[in-house]
Structure 1
Amino acid sequence: MQINGLHHVTAIAGPARRNLDFYGRVLGLRLVKKTVNFDDPGTYHLYFGDADAAPGSILTFFPWELAAPGRLGVGETQETVFRVPAGSIGFWTHRFVEQGVPHEPPFKRFGETVLGFRDPDGMRLALVGVAGIEAEPAWAEGGIAAEHAIRGFHGVSLLLADAAPTAAILSDVFGFTEIGREDTLIRYAVRGAAIGGVIDLRVAGGFLPARQGAGSVHHIAFRAADDAAQEEMVRRLAENHGIRTTEQRDRNYFRSVYFREPGHVLFEIATDVPGFAVDEPAAELGRSLKLPPGLEAHRKQIEAVLPVLA
């Protein structure tokens, strides 16, 4: 059965070691893949996720040591939101105080408790307390007890000048349905999606356009079960919305196409297959540097220029 929702979110970061420390140690996410930017192999591409490296839990980064700060604006992902058990918001508030993580007081959004915070590059993030997820599998080897651990994405919010054209694609191509409105937010969700099933559209006409840099989300990716499902989404985009995607690109762990949606956010459609265990055992994910076949012959040169992570 086709499962819709987010596949991953990819962002831009500053120093790689600082990025790894924050997401691995402070947030307790699993480093599920250590590879390089295929278009810039002198730069890491780090993938963080849950214990199973499941689609809907994957946050990836291009860490550039000297990246200038980005500027949030219209046409960009405003906030990336993780799920935690509803009773864990107090734990995370205390942890953020201890670790010096900039954060806001908890507040309510669509009836759920939200704890907003920022990473060292200023990226906007939040935790949402979700009832009834305590028994879900959790990565508990990062120094955070399983009872409080992050359990994949809740969703993302997009900052747009006009919500309607983006909403049409969410509904027609990706299977989302509007489920509520609150202030300037319009919430879309995929019913039955355990993780990564929420997209909030925040209408903010008149804002400056986004400027990409450290702390910016580069793109968000939606799930396609396989190539056939991806092809159907590409067809619907072209026939119903007049939007053409790139050609399919092999990212080793999934196959992708890209397009700019009407609000100018970069969208990707990524296949669930073959998955992150295609080039290393599932139990050893993230332990060694993995390179695509075309770059393997240059391993020594690549390793020589990559920054030390530990």
Structure 2
Amino acid sequence: MINKGIHHVTAIAGPARRNVEFYTRVLGLRLVKKTVNFDDPGTYHFYFGDEKGSPGTILTFFPWEHVAPGRLGIGETQETVFRVPEGAIGYWAHRFVEKGVPHEAPVKRFGETVLSFKDPDGMRLALVGVPGAEAEPAWAGGDVAVENALRGFHSVSLLLEAAAPTAAILTDVLGFAEAAREGSLIRYKAGDTAIGGIVDIREAGGFLPARMGGGSVHHIAFRAADDAEQGEMVRKLYENHRIRTTQQMDRNYFRSVYFREPGHVLFEIATDVPGFAADEAAEHLGEALKLPSFLEPHRGEIERVLPELA
């Protein structure tokens, strides 16, 4: 595999305006794409990420105004983690106090400093200080200075009854390998991929299953360079693990297949191509409401029911 690791993470949020304000104003991410849920076009689908919407930086949301809160449990993404420069952790701890963001004291995990916090819907997030990340490019157009800005995903952690069945998919199909263990956490890395290259599994038998709602991660997408690589991963899933995916779905900015992995987390395999500049210029990403061609005839009706963002 050429490209490995996380492509994007998709979660469920409450009010759309609050969601946009938190991720752009508080966390300083770029709103890369403003579209709708293709299966529920009365609902926005927001994509936040770096300047280009690079794979490994994209956190997306389905915001439903009156969604009930989710419940953390087995078979769910426990935490979505971003990379920041190692020296920026103090800045972020201060910023969270200033902005009233619920957060915990920094801790060490696998030798790295981790600052856990929650968004307004209770989604579990964290920042990890990464040595040398300050030399990496970052979105300079937001409310956070470049030296402190987020540098894409560090990792996701999964809360599972047992690690081994899911680990078999990560290692055989998705390009990861076990790298370390610490307590109940098992770390898997996708080669030398820096951005989005880590999945942690926390084994926690005997807990209630997760309940989807506001603050829950809906699915995790993993990278495939193109259709051919995605097709090879689909073949491996069935031949080696007897897991069938959905048919390929065109999401305009990538092409996707979905499957439920053995620990019950919904996984997606998404192509890196064509990218978020497919329907608007890179310098204007996220400015206009973009619709797929099959929904364009209904634009007027869709715009009438979508909540105001300003």
- State TM-score, norm by structure 1: 0.99
Provide the C-alpha distance between the structure 2 equivalents of 1:52 and 1:256, rounded to a whole number of angstroms.
Answer: 20
Paired letter, 1:240? N
Cα shift at 1:36: 0.1
Provide the C-alpha distance between the structure 2 equivalents of 1:306 and 1:50, rounded to a whole number of angstroms.
Answer: 25
Cα shift at 1:234: 0.2
For 1:174, the equivalent position in structure 2 comes to 174
For 2:188, the equivalent position in structure 1 comes to 188
SS at match of 2:194: coil
Cα shift at 1:140: 1.9
Cα shift at 1:278: 0.3
Paired letter, 1:178? E
Provide the C-alpha distance between the structure 2 equivalents of 1:19 and 1:53, rounded to a whole number of angstroms.
Answer: 18
Provide the C-alpha distance between the structure 2 equivalents of 1:240 and 1:40, rounded to a whole number of angstroms.
Answer: 34
SS at match of 1:147: helix
Q: Which moved more, 1:270-279 or 1:134-143?
A: 134-143
Paired letter, 1:159? L
Cα shift at 1:88: 0.3
1:216 aligns with 2:216: yes
Cα shift at 1:51: 1.3
Q: Which moved more, 1:94-103 or 1:139-148?
A: 139-148
Provide the C-alpha distance between the structure 2 equivalents of 1:52 and 1:82, rounded to a whole number of angstroms.
Answer: 17
For 2:13, the equivalent position in structure 1 comes to 13
For 2:204, the equivalent position in structure 1 comes to 204
SS at match of 1:34: strand
Cα shift at 1:305: 0.4
Provide the C-alpha distance between the structure 2 equivalents of 1:131 and 1:299, rounded to a whole number of angstroms.
Answer: 46
SS at match of 2:51: coil
- State TM-score, norm by structure 2: 0.99
Matched residues, percent identical? 76
CA shift digits 1:140-171 (9 cap, x unpaired): 21111100000000010000000000001100
Paired letter, 2:77? T
Q: Segments of 4+ in structure 1 off by > 2 A?
A: none
Provide the C-alpha distance between the structure 1 equivalents of 2:30 and 2:120, rounded to a whole number of angstroms.
Answer: 18
SS at match of 2:231: helix
For 1:89, the equivalent position in structure 2 comes to 89
1:299 aligns with 2:303: no
Provide the C-alpha distance between the structure 2 equivalents of 1:178 and 1:136, rounded to a whole number of angstroms.
Answer: 26
Cα shift at 1:133: 1.3
List alignment gaps of at least 5 residues for structure 1.
none
Paired letter, 2:60? T
For 2:270, the equivalent position in structure 1 comes to 270
Provide the C-alpha distance between the structure 1 equivalents of 2:19 and 2:142, rounded to a whole number of angstroms.
Answer: 15
Provide the C-alpha distance between the structure 1 equivalents of 2:143 and 2:306, rounded to a whole number of angstroms.
Answer: 27
For 1:252, the equivalent position in structure 2 comes to 252
1:71 aligns with 2:71: yes
Provide the C-alpha distance between the structure 2 equivalents of 1:271 and 1:281, rounded to a whole number of angstroms.
Answer: 20
Aligned pairs for 1:129-168 within 5 A: 129-168=129-168
CA shift digits 1:171-220 (9 cap, x unpaired): 00011011100011000001211200000000000010000000000000
Provide the C-alpha distance between the structure 2 equivalents of 1:28 and 1:284, rounded to a whole number of angstroms.
Answer: 17
For 2:103, the equivalent position in structure 1 comes to 103
Provide the C-alpha distance between the structure 1 equivalents of 2:143 and 2:9, rounded to a whole number of angstroms.
Answer: 24
For 1:308, the equivalent position in structure 2 comes to 308
SS at match of 1:48: strand
Cα shift at 1:52: 1.9
Cα shift at 1:123: 0.3
Q: Which moved more, 1:261-270 or 1:135-144?
A: 135-144
List alignment gaps of at least 5 residues for structure 2.
none
RMSD: 0.6
Provide the C-alpha distance between the structure 1 equivalents of 2:192 and 2:186, rounded to a whole number of angstroms.
Answer: 19
Contact persistence 2:248–2:256 (CA under 8 A) = yes
Paired letter, 2:239? E
Paired letter, 1:155? S
SS at match of 1:60: strand
Contact persistence 2:11–2:218 (CA under 8 A) = yes
Cα shift at 1:265: 0.2
CA shift digits 1:94-123 (9 cap, x unpaired): 000000000000000000000000000000
Paired letter, 1:282? A
